[in-house]
Structure 1
Amino acid sequence: MTEAACVEPADTGWVSQQRRWASGWRRTVFPAVFLLYLAETAGAVAQYNRAAGEVAGFLVLAAFCAAYVVALTRDTFTARAPTFWAIFAVQVACLAAELPLAHGAAFVMAVFIVVLAVGRLHARAAPIVVAFTAGAVLLPAAVPSWHQGPASGAAVGTAFAIPMVALAMFSFFNVLRGNVALAQARSEVSRLAAENERIRIARDLHDLLGHSLTTIIVKAELARRLAATDAGAAAAEIAEVEALTRAALADVRAAVSRYREPTVAGELATGRELLHAAGITADLPRSVDGIDERGRELFAWVLREGLTNVVRHAHASTCTVTLTADAVQIDDDGTGGDLGATGSGLSGLRERVDAAGGTIEAGPSPSGGWRLRVALTPEHALR
């Protein structure tokens, strides 16, 4: 199973579950439950007023609650600035209108204003918190007529509650933003995993099919030339083309499922067959013993790409492969090619070598012809 397959479904289900839970009626009802704390303000309105004053106080309180619920349903935390400041102004106006009716108990409304301010402005809401806290402390103390009745002590508790609620909401919203960032990071990991898997499959399919189809083409051309003079040999070559085609199909399936990786011994055997079919004299090692374990897969890909390029592009008559514990080298007497060319074969090989912590050299050989050499760095070889 690929990394993308492991990450994507879990993340998608988790995010969808969170969105479903937080949407609909829960989005409004749960935060609005805390409006019950305004019963203290309503009690003060009933205590200090009669008739028209009491009705006015309740209407102002109802308008404040309505503005708070609208703020929740319209997602004021992320809405445009004019929307937030309009609701903020309505709530502050309601608080100011309630002060002469509920006295110090009106500052309970400031707690809800602070919640919205911190949710929208984060640390920039500090001046608003300080202003409401100072108002809850200083204003009731400055008005002698507010010093009587049970509501007179409400301002003291509210003055303490405003900064405490602001601090709690600041921490809560920080955690909330962290969760959103985490969900975004998980989504990005899923996307990158899927992209890496796509690149891997494209690279592996190129390497697998490029090698196999080159061999098939060479053998088909040989069979065509033999058809007129040696029907038996031509039929044998066609049979090998069929076998190679079946093997290529199996390799493609294996590459998609990441079930099989190439081996050095297998690539040497296939390479010997490929070079022979192309009429190139091959000098390949018979043993693969002593190769660093961590370089076996890399060297197999080097042999696959390198020998395929010799047949395709080198116009060579001889090819020699040298294997050591930490390096593989392919020499031919042809014209070679450019490692920086736009073709995806050698560029994909460079990516493999870089990922394995090795070095790659491709260019004219000192003895003439072309050389491709890949070596593990000493640090990598010793790990």
Structure 2
Amino acid sequence: MTDQTVRDNHRGWVLTACFFDLFMVPSLIGQFGLDRPVWLTALVVAGIVVYGFGYVVLPLVVWGRSQAWQLPVGVAYMGLAAALSPVATPYIFIWAFALCSVIVRGWWLIALSGTVFVALAVVLPSSYLGLLVILVSVAILCRSVVHMVDINGALRLARDQVTALAVADERSRIARDLHDVLGHSLTTVTVKAGLARRMLEAGVATDRALVEMRDVERLSRQALADITATVSGVRAASLAAELVGAKEALRAAGIDADFPLAVDDVEPAYQEAFAFALREGVTNVLRHSAGATRCEVRLGDSWLEVRDDGDPGPAATQPSRVAGGGNGLSGLSERLTGIGGRLEAGPMPSQGFRLRVEVAV
């Protein structure tokens, strides 16, 4: 239960208890009468005032504490009611039963209230049968109200937890998508800018260098658009479009791309997740596969595989290239979990590196 909920419950109880005290205290004093010895009148009035004050304060003291506090306080309040009842009225037990229903929980409440109820049934004359009915009704009503308050508090706590989880999930989604967008786009921009620089430095193929720089500008604009779409939650990935973009990025890096011509064999439900897998796999080829000259992509109805012929070397042990490590592969694993897929990434026995995603069907 949150601090705000506790404060609201305390405030509600104080206001309710003070309202009932306005009627309870004068009524009990009136039942006692003031035509008694001064010392007795003062003693009884003080006891009634303490009784009314305890009705307001004791729940605030006991709430949140263990049974070691709740039960003794309930017994003491019942005892004060029993001490005042001969000189005031047995109806004073109404407030005692109400208070104990609020502060004492579980079987201890049944034991305490039941014991006092049986004692009153034995001691009081039959004319107080109505009081006994009222006591049972008050105990049930107050216990029901307390139970409802507890349920509302639990629901409010659950709602706050759901909200916090939703916020955390949205942050994770944005971070994952931004990594995918920026990782791939900036890697491609870097490759293309490097290619254009080398062309200009060599003083040849100026027109080709201009084409590459125009692609850099286009990719930068597309990355900005993707970031905006990612933050707004409307961005989706197309497997066919990713194949085209990946082939262009590999070409700029001087790596042959052996890609399928179509994606019709892949189940539609898996294509978006596979698009992100393709993007991550090709990005890692561009960033980590030293000396790679060829990259192959193979597709099935429920699987995708990206392979290159680069030298794994130390790159194979980098967290960003091992399944379960690196932000990119971790985010990809989260995406695949949503469709029941799994991820494998690691060096191949002979040479090269392989990333494979597969959905169990």
**Smaller-chain TM-score range?**
0.7 to 0.9
TM-fit CA distance, 1:340: 3.6
| 1:139 maps onto 2:114 in alignment | no
- The amino acid of 1:238's aligned partner reads M
Q: 2:254·2:293 contact (CA, 8 Å) conserved in 1?
A: yes
2:54 corresponds to which letter in structure 1? Answer: A
Kindly indicate whether residue 290 of structure 2 is the aligned counterpart of residue 305 of structure 1.
no
After TM superposition, the structure 1 = structure 2 runs for residues 210-249 of structure 1, keeping only pairs within 5 Å, are 210-228=183-201, 229-230=203-204, 231-249=206-224
2:113 corresponds to which of 122, 125, 129: 129
Name which of structure 1's ranges 169-178 and 264-273 shifts more when overlaid on structure 2.
Answer: 169-178
1:267 paired residue number: 242
Equivalent residue for 1:286?
261
Please give the secondary structure, in 1, of the residue aligned with 2:95: helix
Q: How large is the RMSD of aligned CA atoms in angstroms?
A: 3.0
Q: Which residue type is aligned with residue 237 of structure 1?
A: E
- 2 CA distance for matches of 1:360 and 1:55? 82
The gaps in structure 1 that reach 5 residues or longer are 1-11, 142-151, 379-383
- In structure 1, the partner of 2:36 is 51
Distance 1:255 1:330 in 2: 25
Give the equivalent residue in structure 1 for 2:144.
171
Q: Partner of 1:71 in structure 2?
A: 58
CA contact (8 A) 1:362 1:372 kept: yes
1:95 to 81, 85, 90: 81
Tell me if 1:110 matches 2:93. yes
3-state SS of paired residue (1:328): strand
- Output the CA distance in 2 between the equivalents of 1:54 and 1:23: 33
Which aligned pairs between 1:36-47 and structure 2 lie closer than 5 A? Answer: 36=23, 41-42=28-29, 44-46=31-33
SS in 2 for 1:342: coil
CA distance in 2, matches of 1:215, 1:253: 19
Cα distance between partner residues in 1 of 2:45 and 2:307? 93
**3-state SS of 1:273 partner:** helix
- Which of 190, 202, 212 does residue 175 from structure 2 map onto? 202
Number of residue pairs aligned between Structure 1 and Structure 2: 346
- Please name the residue that 2:153 is paired with: 180
Whole-Å Cα distance in 1 between the matches of residues 323 and 272 of structure 2?
23
Q: CA deviation at 1:355?
A: 2.1
Matches of 1:136 and 1:328 in 2, distance apart? 79
Q: Does 1:373 align with 2:356?
A: yes
User: Contact 1:114–1:128 (CA<8 Å) still a contact in 2?
Assistant: no
Distance 1:98 1:164, change over 3 A: same
Partner secondary structure for residue 257 of structure 2: strand
Cα distance in 2 between the residues matched to 1:348 and 1:289: 25
Structure 1 residue 45, shift from structure 2 partner: 2.5
Secondary structure in 2 matching 1:100: coil
Cα deviation, residue 232, structure 1? 2.8
Which residue of 2 is the match for residue 6 of structure 1?
none
TM normalised by structure 2 equals 0.84
Cα gap change, 1:67/1:20 in structure 2, threshold over 3 Å: closer, same or farther?
Answer: closer
Q: Structure 2: which 5+ runs fail to align? A: none
Change (3 A) 1:273 1:210: same
For the residues of structure 2 that align with 1:93 and 1:329, how far apart are their CA atoms?
78
Cα deviation, residue 200, structure 1 = 0.9
The CA deviation string for residues 281-310 of structure 1, in whole angstroms up to 9 with x for no partner, is 111122222321101101100110011111
Q: SS of the residue aligned with 1:290?
A: coil
- SS of equivalent to 1:157: helix
- Once the two structures are TM-superposed, the CA of residue 51 in structure 1 deviates from its matched residue by 2.9
- Contact 1:134 1:159 (8 Å CA) reproduced: no
AA in 1 matched with 2:114: V
Which amino acid letter does the alignment assign opposite residue 140 of structure 1? L
C-alpha separation between the residues in 2 aligned to 1:77 and 1:362? 55
Query: 1:126 Cα shift?
Result: 1.9
Shift of 1:375: 2.0
